[in-house]
Amino acid sequence: MTIRRRDLLVGGGSVLGGAAFALLAPQWPASAHEYTVGEVKVEHPWLRAPKEGETTAYLFALISNKGATPDKLVGVKAAAVGRTAIYVGAHEDKAADALVIPPKKKLTLKPGGPHVALLDIKKYLQVGWGLELTLVFEKAGEVTIDASIEAPDAKRAHDAQAMQRWEKAHGKDTSGAAPPSGHEHHQMDHQHMNPCAPAMDKPPAPK
């Protein structure tokens, strides 16, 4: 289930205000944002949102393979994404067919390393929210994940500092004085609140 930050802002905005948000951020539990399919586990999937005026996002995650044989990430599917390209390293001169996850090993998709480029994105990706994607593994099969949408310069999943920089630059206030209107909400189909938002684990007590 997804608890939208918006709802919490309306009811208890002070919980997420400024310093409190920064303090809570590192405490996101590892267990709250992971997906398992077969022998494969995907932890903290996240995106670098497109830069201003661009339509390419970058997908990262920690992928582990508990199995005795290699598996491969062979594709990523999402309604909002035109096409995807898999890269085994930082350089994008040649796309790969797949990313191999060796048996009993972890593969970290990260800036400067293996990653998946999501190209021709057809809608605005709201930083701080999440985007539903389906990862396709050769052996384990398909798993649908909620990738957290991070700032274009985020260095890691749930990079609170990058998010605060982004929010400042875009006139957003993390104290949440103005929740999005219903119209914006309507455009957010299949886009969810950041699944690792601190509020997930500590919803404000009912009044």
| Angstrom distance (rounded) from CA 104 to CA 169 | 42
CB 146 to Cu ion: min, Å: 9
CB 47 to Cu ion: min, Å: 11
Residues that bind Cu ion (CB under 5 A): 33, 44, 157, 196
Those residues whose C-beta lies under 8 Å from the C-beta of residue 126, and which sit 6 or more positions away, are 149, 188, 191
CB 44 to Cu ion: min, Å: 3
Residue closer to Cu ion (CB basis): 101 or 196: 196
CB 8 to Cu ion: min, Å: 18
Name the residue number minimizing CB distance to Cu ion.
Answer: 33
Residue closer to Cu ion (CB basis): 1 or 68: 1
User: Any idea which residue has 């219903």 for tokens?
Assistant: 182
